[in-house]
Amino acid sequence: MQPMTLAEVIELAAIKEGQPEVAHGHDHLADPVRWCHVGEVPDIGAMLTGGEVVLTTGAMLAADPDQVAYVTQIAEAGATAVFLGIGRTFDAIPQALLKACRAADLPLVVMWRPVAFVTITEAVQSTILARATSRSTVSENVRDTLHRLTLQRAPMQALVDEISGLAGCPVVVENTARQVQLAAGEAGLREVLRDWTRLSQYVSRFAGTDDVYTTPDGIVAATLTEQGRPWGSLILFAHGEPADRSEVVARRGVEALNLHKLVSAGGADWQREAQEVLLADLLGGHGGADLLELRARASGFRIRHCRLTPLAVALGRNERTCEMLLEQARSVARRCGVGALVGPVEHGTVRLLVSTDPSEDPVSTVDGFAGLLAGESEGRIALVAAGPAVDGLGRLSQSFARAEQTLGAATRLGWSGRGVVRLADLRLPGLVEVLATNHDVQDFVDRELGALLDSPELVDLLETFIANGLNKSSTAQAHHLSRPAVYRRLEQITERLGIDLDDVRDVAGLYVALLALRARGR
């Protein structure tokens, strides 16, 4: 089978609609393309196996370091090219991304007009699949592709994405409670998930002695088992697709998913991963709000007509995973009558999304949930911060950012209050935390403290002096200095800054500047 090339991908009508421009990589146009993958997640490298075209709008790549890390992962995974859609996140080619692509010699194709990614992936993948004709070829290709992903310990979502692409139809993995855990194939997925409980029950009626079975309207389902015990089902909504091909993909998909679960670190890993994927997609807006709401509802997590409260959870010093936290969150959520999604551990913190009934006060309900969860965590949870409750997905990312800002500020300020901390609880330091990245605030810091920034010891002493109510004796004790030494350093500070430490307005300005300086991580 002749592989598709990058040049052929660019010439597809679906791509042409986006007015593509090769920003880098003209000498790679003959490179083979094995697959097309939407990559709106920061850890995209774990989902790639080489030869892919990766589509992104840059939704999670606002910062230059994120762009460099993203390109590095893709290049190391052996992908063929990155396609960047302009308009949602960037109005021009981000220079950090372009420089990183040049450094890694990774082709970058920019699409100047918006194009639905599902249209592109369908066009690329249907072209690639059309070149694989025989059943034996299909079976071999599917087996090799999925086996390679499994051996590389790729996330289960990557396997499901691959199965959907190979089958050319929407694919769902449900647990034994008939809740959707993983899904792929945007085209048609909305209709599949719209009434999931009824559809799942319909499919199950055709289960027989064979692990793989087909409904009269062409839906192919297969039972997932571990040591003879079912743990879920793989369902291919292959209406109109060749039955033989769909059955082959289903059988090979079951083999790969069972093997993935067998070699994973723990039995519940796949459901934890499913929650992480769903939460990441909710934040990234992948697939659109209506599809995301359907996916969440089919998984048992309600979004529509609910209040959503993001939590940023700091784990105890020795905690590196959140496996126990996931089980505890589920148990506590059931008892409190709320929904809960748990994200992965990143730098000792975990994102957690709580869904509450609109008739309930989200603050007291979430505080009750978080308090019970912390009480049962046996020290695994050190601190919980909350963002404002939101309706729907439109402001969810901003609310999560607020929760994480609050957690960072509370940690830096040594917050010792009980329960969930919110930005309002931190008062002025909390306000400064939110405004710290504002250019006017940064200019204010430079004006107020610029003359001291090359002397960290003087900045530290000034901070202690203000924190101790301008008490020189307490400042001397805190820094293990004599009082005359403190006097001399305070004189240096007043001379450099040209201020009067007895003037409450000058001191107030310095206090705000110091808060903003620490919020910037200095």
CA distance 274 to 414: 34
Mean pLDDT, 10 residues at a time, over the chain (522 residues)? 83 93 95 91 86 92 92 95 93 95 96 92 85 61 76 82 87 92 84 91 87 88 88 87 78 87 64 83 80 87 90 76 71 90 84 92 92 83 91 89 88 81 86 80 88 90 91 91 92 91 90 86 64
Structure tokens at 71: 């390109």
Task: Name the CATH architecture for the domain at 436-519.
Answer: Orthogonal Bundle (1.10)
Cα dist from 487 to 127, 226, 364, whole Å: 77, 73, 49
**Taking the domain 302-426, which CATH number applies?**
3.30.70.270
Residue 282 one-letter amino acid = L
Please tell me whether residue 194 adopts helix, strand or coil conformation. Answer: helix
Bridge-based pairing state of the strands 180-184 and 20-24: unpaired
Backbone phi, psi, residue 311, to 5°: -120, 140
Q: Is 469 left (phi over 0), alpha (psi -120 to 50) or beta?
A: left
CA distance 52 to 68: 18
- State the span(s) of the chain assigned CATH 3.30.70.270: 302-426
The helix/strand count (H/E) of the chain reads as 21, 17
The contacts of residue 492 (CB under 8 Å, 6+ apart) are: 458
CA distance 47 to 45: 5
- Whether this prediction's pTM lies above 0.95 is answered by no
Place of tokens 């691959």: 162
Bridge-based pairing state of the strands 307-315 and 180-184: unpaired
CA 120 and chain centroid, separation: 23
Q: In 349-471, which ranges are continuous DSSP H helix?
A: 362-375, 396-412, 427-435, 439-449, 456-467
CA distance 120 to 385: 40
**Which H or E run includes 475?**
helix 472-479
DSSP result, 76-118: HTT--EEEEE-SSS-SS--HHHHHHHHHHT--EEEESS---HH
CATH number assigned to the domain with residue range 4-128, chosen from the 4 options 3.40.50.180, 3.40.50.720, 3.40.1390.20, 3.90.1150.10: 3.40.1390.20
CA distance 392 to 491: 55
CA distance 313 to 334: 19
- In contact, 506 and 499? CB cutoff 8 Å: yes
* Angle, helices 289-299/269-284, rounded to nearest 10 degrees: 160
- In contact, 402 and 410? CB cutoff 8 Å: no
Cα dist from 197 to 35, 40, 61, 271, whole Å: 32, 29, 36, 18
CA distance 398 to 384: 17
Q: pLDDT value at position 131?
A: 64
Q: pLDDT value at position 18?
A: 93
The contacts of residue 124 (CB under 8 Å, 6+ apart) are: 4, 9, 12, 14, 33, 35, 36, 53
Q: pLDDT value at position 427?
A: 84
Taking alpha carbons only, the member of 459, 518, 449, 512 closest to residue 490 is: 459
DSSP result, 287-317: T-HHHHHHHHHHHT---TTSEEEEEEEEEPT
State in Å, rounded, how far the first CA of the chain is from the last one.
57
Long-range Cβ contact pairs of 514-517 (< 8 A, separation 24 or more): 514/449, 514/459, 514/462, 514/463, 514/466, 515/428, 515/429, 515/432, 515/433, 515/436, 516/432, 516/435, 516/436, 516/441, 516/442, 516/444, 516/445, 517/445, 517/449, 517/459
CA distance 199 to 290: 18
Q: pLDDT value at position 240?
A: 66
DSSP 8-state assignment for residue 385 = E
Report CA torsion sign: 43, 48, 51, 53.
Answer: negative
- State the span(s) of the chain assigned CATH 3.40.1390.20: 4-128
Q: pLDDT value at position 329?
A: 83
Give the 3-state secondary structure percentages of the chain, helix then strand then coil, rounded to 5.
50, 15, 30
- State the span(s) of the chain assigned CATH 1.10.10: 436-519
- In contact, 480 and 396? CB cutoff 8 Å: no
**Taking the domain 132-270, which CATH number applies?**
3.30.450.40
